[in-house]
A and B are shown apart, each in its own frame.
Chain A
Amino acid sequence: MEEIIKEVVIGEQEEYVINMGPQHPSTHGVLRLVVSLKGEIVKNVEPHIGYIHRGIEKMCESITYTQIIHLTDRMDYLSAMMNNEAVCLAVEKALEVEIPDRIKIIRTIMSELSRIQSHQLFWASFGMDLGGQTCFFYGLRDREKVLDIFEETTGGRMIVSYNCPGGLMYDIHPNFRKRVKEFIKYFRGVLWEYDAILTGNVIFRERSIGIGTLSLEDAISYGITGPSGRASGFSCDIRKHEPYSAYDRVQFNEVLYNEGDTYHRYLARIEEMRESMSIIDQLIDNIPEGPYFVKMKPVIKLPEGEYFQRVETARGELDVFIISDGNKNPYRVKFRSPNFVNLGVLNHITKDFKIADLIAIAGSLDFVIPDIDR
């Protein structure tokens, strides 16, 4: 009897498989999602990655530590400053180099500026994922201003390679303080527009509240860090828990929510921009004079051992794990990139939502594909 019933509802088991990507407007790069649908409802999402896998970890084994810095720019290109910093901190920790305050403070300011521009781009593209294309231009308009500051000091806009083991590549530009202050003043003035266009919009709230809810247990179990994890109440801000650079001398709040849905992942990023601005405010007038680098040996050789450095990038926790055998090349370098781990949760939280929600959820996890593939 049961078998007959099963035959009648044969449509129940049939899946409509669509291939999102590698070229798709809202996978933010060459991410391919094989989505099984039942009608409009997502039953299973299987990420296929590796389209821009460059083998950065393998490449690192044959180059020197200074050269590794330039590869890290190419991982999460929106958090290039933080990626640089992670490797530098690991190397400096291994060599037990004392870093002057000036460098620490400049690194912190640069990291926070990176965080702001990354979240601006998140806001821009998230709005576009939900169909509000105007957001994209507002986001990019403000992001240009940060990139201009980067360009003036580092010569690069996204691929900056600014930190190096022992300090910074160049000293800050004489205009740096002035322009950062101008930017903060300007951005405080326009941040309300972000809320006016998207946060308060009824359609946006309907589309995001209660969508793709991630519980605290799952967030920890899956290791979801960054704003995405903190929206679920997972206190995972490395800046608070294991302060590096100048984070131990600034006051800021760790943005935490308990809901864990798409809306709060979005909100966490908007709030983080405010926190980042307050961090920069506290530091920008206190950059001491002094050298911008510590003299290091021309060829850096790390003593034999294992070095683990955790850094908070715009998307979550980036860990650099260096195993050295005492040579000028590392024996093994592992980058625990936040996006790679965050991707693992996608199938879990999109189940039984609709296609449109899949786009919203994937957008709210804020993937940067080169960081997933490395």
Chain B
Amino acid sequence: MLLNTITNTLVTLSDPWWKVFYDFSSLTKGIDEGLRSSLSPFWAVTVEMVIIGILFLLFYAVIGLFLVYAERKVCAFIQNRLGPNRIGPYGIFQTVADLIKLLFKELIPIKNADSFLFNLAPYIVIIVNFMVLAAIPFAKGLHAIDFNIGIFYVIAVSSMSVIGVLLAGWSSNSKYSLIGAMRSGAQIVSYELSIGLAIITVVILAGSLQLSEIVEAQRTGWFIFKGHVPAFIAFVIYIISGTAETNRGPFDMAEAESELTAGYHTEYSGIKFAFFYLAEYINMFIVASIASTLFLGGWMPFHVGNWEAFNRVMDIIPPFFWYIGKTFFVIYLIMLFKWTFPRLRIDQLLTLEWKYLLPINLVNVLIMAFLVLMGWHF
């Protein structure tokens, strides 16, 4: 069975092996066919799910650790410091060491805490992360599931993480946590609107909810260029509300360490704390990858109209690197916000959303619809 799979995969790679980096669909199809030819459909799907699960777990850990390291380096760069530089060259193993430390730390049980919900909360946050990751197109053909309502699914699932935060704040029986959780609830519920409307602006332009089609629609130009000013406004609003969604500075009211020590995860220790910590970074990664998929063309190389030669040069860089590059550019932007701006106050945060972003967004959607109707986009 295993042999069968491998041969099948190799057959699909018979043309130059590196071609696979430009189109993963042949590889994934090969694995799928190999498994199905030797196993019953039920087991084939099960094995596939296990493979994807393991890959995502690995990806999750690697991206999480890398982002923590990256943030520490970026903030050090902004703050005139060196950042981690002791463990490994340029301190790259610092976060691994931190993770090992967190794994060995004691899980402190909280007296009078609702222990079931208290333990459940970090998992909810993590599970939500995984569910969103499933829909993200990492490269051509590198997709866990390509829903036809992909972007809708992403919005729907990502807003569930607030449940984890609320549970964490509620169940830890701590006043700081509760205030943090309530703030977080108000914040995420409000900014969900802006995110949704900003995404709808793009959906109008793309004419589809399917993420792979949205990316495909950007073959002739990224939406941020294609959609004139409205798309750019939508991008800015998306970044602002995305930052707020992930509870990152300057919108980190839920944690607000100078006010609430650590907000909703004050009482968590050890690996449970690490889950929240990692989830925050993965959330940032998700927000950034959605931004790059919707506005910056996802894995689509940078193409300009009908400049054939230029487009071919751009095609040389594999789509996966385009995707990663764009995502990290957005992540860098979000990090830059956090380390340059002071924190907003909760009422200012809500004022920003309800009085400014939401009306602008509604008008923006109208303008975009008008543009698409008249066919004035590129």
Contact = CB atoms under 8 A, between A and B. Distances in A.
Q: Do chains A and B touch in the complex (CB under 8 A)?
A: yes
Contact of A354 (B257, B343, B346): B346
Interface in B242-264: 249-250, 252-253, 256-261
A26 B343 CA distance: 14
Contacts of A18: 175-176, 179
A356 B339 contact: no
A137 B79 contact: yes
A206 B259 CA distance: 17
B251 to A, nearest CB: 10
Given A26-B259, A355-B259, A359-B259, A131 B250 contact: yes
B80 interface: yes
The interface size bin for chain A is 20 to 34
B313 interface: no
Interface in B226-283: 249-250, 252-253, 256-261
B109 interface: no
Given A26-B259, A355-B179, A132 B340 contact: yes
A39 to B, nearest CB: 9
Interface in B328-354: 339-348
B258 A359 contact: yes
Given A24-B261, A359-B259, A130 B342 contact: yes
Contacts of B341: 131-132, 201, 203
B14 to A, nearest CB: 54
Interface residues of B, number: 29
B342 A201 contact: yes
B258 A131 contact: yes
Is chain A's interface secondary structure helix, strand, loop, or mixed overall? helix
Given A18-B176, A203-B250, A206-B348, A132 B257 contact: no
Given A207-B345, A354-B346, A356-B256, A131 B340 contact: no
A130 B343 contact: yes
A128 B342 CA distance: 8
A203 B340 CA distance: 11
A133 B339 contact: yes
Contacts of A37: 179
A25 B80 contact: no
A203 B176 contact: no
A134 B175 contact: no
A141 interface: yes
Contacts of B343: 130-132, 203, 207, 356
A51 interface: no
Contacts of B79: 133-134, 136-138
B47 interface: no
Interface string B77-92: 0111100000000000
A127 B258 CA distance: 10
A207 B256 CA distance: 14
B80 A131 contact: no
A357 interface: yes
A170 interface: no
Interface string A58-94: 0000000000000000000000000000000000000
Given A18-B175, A40-B179, A131-B249, A204 B259 contact: no
Nearest to B340: A134
B347 A354 contact: yes
Contacts of B260: 355
A198 to B, nearest CB: 7
A127 B342 contact: yes
Contacts of A127: 342
Contacts of B253: 356
Contact of B257 (A25, A136, A137): A25
Given A131-B258, A359-B258, A203 B342 contact: yes
Nearest to A130: B342
A134 B339 CA distance: 6
A34 to B, nearest CB: 12
B346 A40 contact: yes
Contact of A25 (B78, B258, B342): B258
A16 interface: yes
A319 interface: no
Please list the 3 inter-chain residue pairs (A to B) with the smallest Cβ-Cβ separation, ordered nearest first: A131-B343, A132-B342, A137-B79
21 contacts: A18-B175, A24-B261, A25-B257, A25-B258, A37-B179, A127-B342, A128-B258, A131-B249, A131-B258, A134-B79, A134-B339, A136-B79, A138-B80, A197-B340, A201-B341, A203-B250, A203-B341, A203-B348, A206-B345, A355-B260, A356-B253
Interface of B: 75, 78-81, 175-176, 179, 183, 249-250, 252-253, 256-261, 339-348
Interface of A: 16-19, 24-26, 37, 40, 127-134, 136-138, 141, 197-198, 201, 203-204, 206-207, 354-357, 359
Given A131-B252, A134-B340, A203-B344, 10 more contacts: A37-B179, A131-B250, A131-B341, A131-B342, A132-B341, A133-B79, A137-B79, A138-B80, A207-B345, A354-B346
